[in-house]
Amino acid sequence: MAELSPMMKQYFEIKKDYRDTILMFRLGDFYEMFFEDAKIASRELELVLTGRDCGQEERAPMCGVPFHSVDSYIARLISKGYKIAICEQMEDPATAKGIVKRDVIRIVTPGTVIESNMLDETQNNFLCSIFMREGKVGLCFADVSTGAMHLTDLDGKDVETAVINELARFMPSEVLFNREAAQSQPIKKFVTDKCNALCEAFEEDYLLLPQARERLCAQFGCNEPNEVAPGVSMQGVFASGICLEYLSTVQRNDLTNIRSLDYYSESGFMKLDLAARRSLELTRTMRSNDKKGTLLWVLDHTKTAMGKREIREWLDRPLTNPARIIGRQNAVEELSENAVLCGNLSAALSDINDLERLITRISYGTANAKELRALSGAIDCIPGVKSQLSDCRCAMLRDIFRELDTLEDVSRLIKSAIVEDPPFTVREGGMIQQGFNAELDELHMLVDNGKDYLAQIQQREQDRTGIKKLKIGYNRVFGYYIEVSNAFKAMVPEDYIRKQTLTNCERFITQELKELETKVLGAQNRCVQLEFEIFSQVRDKTAQQLGRIQRTASALARIDVLTSFAKVAMENNYVRPEITDTPVLDIKEGR
């Protein structure tokens, strides 16, 4: 058998660790897939299947996608339930010695997506971990795109039904099972048939209890799991630890945006089984499975992506605590009694981008300059929201007012550093504002003036030689050159160095041209490199404000939902119900 080519050896060395995953292998401006991965991608993405010499008698099946549009192809594969490993070039091919170093920088799965163009902004995208042992179940849900994480413990005679009811609340797109949970046919059937989720079974030794406890404590900065989840069971520790370990493995980072854990019990929310949810048509109609005609459709006048996710969560998890319910009622009543305030809040919220998912991508180092400017634009709208709440009286609105951080320092940094309309890519320059960095400004001046220098040299050489049609050109092989037509060859000075002879002309270089070339081309390369360094520093400084931005996003989501409720209440003449502890439902003049 013929020996594999060096590139294909590298491919197989990486692929052996990702056997159940489509490996997108970066080659130049394309991500290529080979062998069975190529056949799958060709079929699912309707790509032409070609071949590549790989050192074997038969060519390797191959298909590829351009690197600048890879997200749309990944989204299509993810929607069909595939896992994708992104294998990137880890060094500049132009300066690499031998084969370019490559490594997997991230794995994309249905439950771990953070790209906004692959997600529905109105819904959370949950990864679920189910750990079942001794008749008890730990159930963890995490949305890495927003940083939300929920954990609960379930037990009892009908624990499988309880698990299914929780799955119906969160509708995860990917579910991790331990061996015992994977053997539950009702749960497995619900996950595949109703959630349409990717199922992953892990071995019992995937994470041992001490490791799971350590993983949970390390994430939330505590010494014992009980500090963040009072009374959590061993099953709950396993479920949360496994969820965090899996996310860390596929994201290849420390999950900085997951900063808090919502450990809840069934008693905190109204118990709604699957049949009740379907009959009530909270978020989906029974007949067409659409939003139109549901309770969510009636109540959702929210303006932001955070608000749309929040209102869905409130409807999926109705409160049972009278004090919390009355707190929301007080806020809605105060807003509904002031139509001007309600309208002003809606207007102020309308232009706010998805802060939660923007700061996630920024903190993970995947956001581009356009997304930084989008964050800045959203921040600039926050003072307008906060000012509307300054005179509110009820406790919930006052709390939101205090939690809203105007983040003016963050916006100021971004706007001073990033141009108003930056390019999509971060590796080709054109992102940084003039005046932000003195060295960069000098380099840009050298590059811009280089064109003027060339024009001056061309005019001077025309005057010196008397060759009026002498011109200066550039190509990648020779760099800058002086071109003289054959009719004027006899007038060429002795200090010109012949570089190329063509049919109608000859090309020369001079020491002056070579020195200018070194300066200009070196300045161009340094400009691009320095811009990326500056951009990365600005992105990192912005990421350091993750906690402030997340708290503000949460406050914006709540005021958005409350404003929506108030608006609907005014339009439909809703009456505030009186909440009591008695088991009585007394409706007067109901419609």
Q: What is the pLDDT of residues 77-111, one digit of tens each?
A: 998 989 999 999 988 777 778 888 999 999 999 99
The set of long-range contacts for 178-187, using a CB threshold of 8 Å and a minimum separation of 24, is 178/130, 178/131, 178/132, 178/133, 178/202, 178/204, 178/206, 178/238, 178/242, 179/203, 179/204, 180/132, 180/133, 181/130, 181/131, 181/132, 181/137, 184/132, 184/160, 186/160, 186/161, 187/130, 187/160, 187/163
Calculate the average pLDDT of the chain. 92
* Contact by Cβ (8 Å): 445, 451: no
What is the homologous superfamily of the domain 6-108 according to CATH? DNA repair protein MutS, domain I (3.40.1170.10)
- Is 56 a residue whose pLDDT tops 70? no
Within the chain, all domains assigned CATH 3.40.1170.10 are found at 6-108
Q: Classify the C-alpha dihedral 371-374-380-386 as positive or negative.
A: negative
Q: Give residue 153's pLDDT.
A: 96
Report DSSP state, residue 578. P
Read off the tokens for 475: 């190509």
Comparing 7-16, 35-44, 325-334, 582-591, which segment has the lowest mean pLDDT?
Answer: 582-591
HEC string for 46-60: CCCCEEECCCCCCCE
Q: Give residue 296's pLDDT.
A: 96
Is 1.10.1420.10 the CATH number for 300-407+545-572? yes
Averaged pLDDT for residues 184-197 = 93
Q: Give residue 87's pLDDT.
A: 94
Read off the tokens for 467: 């060759």
Q: What percent of the chain has pLDDT over 90?
A: 73
More confident residue, 69 or 149: 149
Q: How far apart are CA 144 and CA 23, in angstroms?
A: 22
Vertex 229, ends 228 and 232: CA angle to 5°?
150
- Is 478 a residue whose pLDDT tops 80? no
DSSP states of 224-254 = SGGGTSTT--HHHHHHHHHHHHHHHHHHTS-
- Is 1 a residue whose pLDDT tops 50? no
More confident residue, 52 or 339: 339
Dump pLDDT digits (tens) for 548-561. Answer: 999 999 999 999 99
Q: How far apart are CA 241 and CA 246, in angstroms?
A: 9
The candidate with the shortest Cα–Cα distance to 316, out of 287, 290, 284, 293, is 284
Q: How far apart are CA 2 and CA 191, in angstroms?
A: 46
Amino acid identity of 103? Answer: D
Q: Give residue 184's pLDDT.
A: 93
Dump pLDDT digits (tens) for 321-353. Answer: 999 999 999 999 999 999 999 999 999 999 999
Read off the tokens for 488: 């004027």
- Residue 32: band (very low, low, confident or very high) from pLDDT cuts 50, 70, 90: very high
Q: How far apart are CA 335 and CA 499, in angstroms?
A: 79
Q: What percent of the chain has pLDDT over 70?
A: 99
Q: What is the pTM of this model?
A: 0.85
Q: How far apart are CA 133 and CA 237, in angstroms?
A: 12
- Residue 67: band (very low, low, confident or very high) from pLDDT cuts 50, 70, 90: confident
CATH classification code of 438-538: 1.10.1420.10
Amino acid identity of 407? Answer: L
- Is 68 a residue whose pLDDT tops 80? yes
Averaged pLDDT for residues 182-199 = 93
Read off the tokens for 535: 């951009």
Dump pLDDT digits (tens) for 219-251. Answer: 999 999 999 999 999 999 999 999 999 999 998
- Is 57 a residue whose pLDDT tops 70? no
Q: Give residue 90's pLDDT.
A: 87
Read off the tokens for 445: 């001046």
- Residue 92 CB neighbour total at 10 angstroms: 9
Q: Give residue 581's pLDDT.
A: 82
Q: Give residue 162's pLDDT.
A: 93
Comparing 181-190, 315-324, 366-375, 516-525, which segment has the lowest mean pLDDT?
Answer: 516-525
Q: Give residue 98's pLDDT.
A: 82
* Pairing verdict, β 174-177 and 50-52: unpaired
Averaged pLDDT for residues 510-526 = 84
Cβ within 8 Å of residue 361, ≥6 positions away: 114, 115, 116, 367, 371
Q: Give residue 92's pLDDT.
A: 77
Helices (H), 96-208: 159-170, 179-182, 185-193
- Residue 474 CB neighbour total at 10 angstroms: 14
> 3-state DSSP call for residue 37?
helix
Q: Give residue 95's pLDDT.
A: 73
The candidate with the shortest Cα–Cα distance to 309, out of 196, 146, 198, 194, is 146
Within the chain, all domains assigned CATH 1.10.1420.10 are found at 300-407+545-572, 438-538
Averaged pLDDT for residues 365-374 = 95
More confident residue, 56 or 512: 512
Is 3.30.420.110 the CATH number for 117-268? yes
Q: Give residue 2's pLDDT.
A: 58
- Residue 433 CB neighbour total at 10 angstroms: 17
The candidate with the shortest Cα–Cα distance to 562, out of 399, 331, 305, is 331
- In the chain, the largest separation of any two C-alpha atoms, in whole Å, equals 109
- Residue 215 CB neighbour total at 10 angstroms: 18
Q: Give residue 133's pLDDT.
A: 94
- Residue 388: band (very low, low, confident or very high) from pLDDT cuts 50, 70, 90: very high
In which region does residue 55 sit, left (phi positive, over 0), alpha (psi from -120 to 50) or beta (all else)?
Answer: left
Q: At what angle do helices 546-572 and 322-336 cross, to 10 degrees?
A: 70
Burial of 438 (0-12, 13-18, 19+ CB in 10 A): exposed
